[in-house]
C-alpha cells in the first residue's frame, strides 16, 4: 500500500438542476480522508445543494457522487428539536447505540467536549446561539460517522462568538477527527479552519479557483497565512480595493 490518504468524498462531473434552474454545472471535487475543505461562494450559488448531494439527501441530475463512509450534517437553520433537552438532542445522534449505559457515557463525554456541563436538562430556547451551535456540533459528532458536513454553522452568531466557535471547532476536531466540508460565505472563517478553500462561481456553480492553507490549527484571524488567504480570495473575487475582476494576486 502507498502512503497516500484515501479519497473520502468524490464529486465527479456533477450537474444539478431544479426544474429549469441549473444550479451546479459539471462540478468535480475530491476530498481526502481527514481533510478539511471549505466551500465559499455567493448566496444562491448552490452550496447547500452540494451538501444535500453529499449527504445523499438528494441525487444529482447528472454525474457521480461517491461517499466513502457515513455523513452527519449541521444545517444552516437551527436544527435542534425545541421540545428536547440538550441531553436528548445529543442522544439522538446515538440512537443506533443500543447499549443504554454506553449511550449515557458517550453523551456525557460529548457534553464535556462542548463544555456544557450543567446544561444537560436545558431546552434550546434557554441557551445562547453559540451554545445551541455547540449542541448541534456534539450531536453531529456523536457516533462513528466519518464525514461532517457543515452548512454555515456559525453565520447567525455575532463576530466574537463566531471567533470563539472557530477555535472550539478546531479544538473539538483535534479530539474527534473527521473529514469536513464546511460551507460558508465567511472567507476569514474558511481561512482559519480549512486545509483547502474552494471558491464557487455564481449559479450554475463551477469551481472558480481553490487554494491550500498549511498552517496548523487553531489559527488566529490575524495569522499571516490566514490574512494572506483572505486577501488572495478577495482579490480573485475582485472585491479588494485596487484589484480588478480576475486579478492575479
Ligand X SMILES: Nc1ncnc2c1ncn2[C@@H]1O[C@H](COP(=O)(O)OP(=O)(O)OP(=O)(O)O)[C@@H](O)[C@H]1O
Query: Which residue of the chain is nearest Mg ion when measured via CB?
Result: 48
- Minimal distance in Å, beta carbon 183 to ligand X? 7
Q: Give which of Mg ion, ligand X, none residue 44 binds (C-beta under 5 to 8 Å, depending on kind).
A: ligand X
Among 15, 26, 48, 243, binds Mg ion (CB under 5 A): 48
> Where are any strands of DSSP class E within the chain?
7-18, 21-32, 36-40, 62-67, 71-74, 147-151, 179-184, 196-200, 207-212
- How far apart are the C-alpha atoms of 143 and 108, rounded to whole Å? 13
- Of 173, 172, 210, 212, nearest to 194 by C-alpha is 212
Q: Is 203 in the site for ligand X (CB under 6 A)?
A: yes
Q: What mask of x and - would describe binding to ligand X in positions 23 to 62, judged by CB under 6 A?
A: x-----------------x-xxxxxxx-------------
End-to-end CA distance of the chain: 39
Cis peptide bond upstream of 149, omega within 30: no
- Minimal distance in Å, beta carbon 172 to ligand X? 24
Residues that bind ligand X (CB under 6 A): 18, 21, 23, 41, 43-49, 76, 185, 203
Binding site for Mg ion (CB under 5 A): 47-48
Amino acid at each position: 500500500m502507498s502512503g497516500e490518504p484515501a479519497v473520502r468524498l468524490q464529486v465527479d462531473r456533477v450537474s444539478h438542476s431544479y426544474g429549469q434552474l441549473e444550479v451546479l454545472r459539471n462540478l468535480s471535487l475530491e476530498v481526502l480522508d481527514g481533510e478539511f475543505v471549505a466551500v465559499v461562494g455567493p448566496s444562491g450559488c448552490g452550496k447547500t445543494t452540494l451538501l444535500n448531494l453529499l449527504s445523499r439527501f438528494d441525487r444529482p441530475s447528472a454525474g457521480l457522487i461517491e461517499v466513502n463512509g457515513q455523513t452527519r450534517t449541521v444545517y444552516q437553520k437551527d436544527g435542534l428539536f425545541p421540545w428536547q433537552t440538550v441531553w436528548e438532542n445529543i442522544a439522538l445522534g446515538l440512537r443506533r447505540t443500543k447499549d443504554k449505559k454506553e449511550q449515557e457515557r458517550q453523551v456525557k463525554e460529548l457534553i464535556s467536549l462542548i463544555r456544557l456541563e450543567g446544561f444537560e436538562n436545558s431546552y434550546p430556547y434557554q441557551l445562547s446561539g453559540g451554545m445551541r451551535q455547540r449542541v448541534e456540533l456534539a450531536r453531529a459528532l456523536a457516533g462513528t460517522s466519518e464525514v461532517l458536513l457543515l452548512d454555515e454553522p456559525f453565520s447567525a452568531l455575532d463576530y466574537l462568538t463566531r471567533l470563539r466557535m472557530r477555535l472550539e471547532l478546531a479544538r473539538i476536531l483535534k479530539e474527534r477527527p473527521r473529514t469536513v466540508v464546511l460551507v460558508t460565505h465567511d472567507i476569514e472563517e474558511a481561512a482559519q479552519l480549512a486545509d483547502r478553500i474552494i471558491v464557487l462561481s455564481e449559479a450554475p456553480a463551477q469551481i472558480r479557483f481553490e487554494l491550500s492553507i498549511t498552517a496548523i490549527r487553531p489559527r488566529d484571524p490575524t495569522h499571516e497565512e490566514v490574512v494572506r488567504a483572505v486577501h488572495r480570495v478577495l482579490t480573485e473575487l475582485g472585491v479588494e480595493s485596487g484589484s480588478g475582476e480576475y486579478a492575479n494576486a
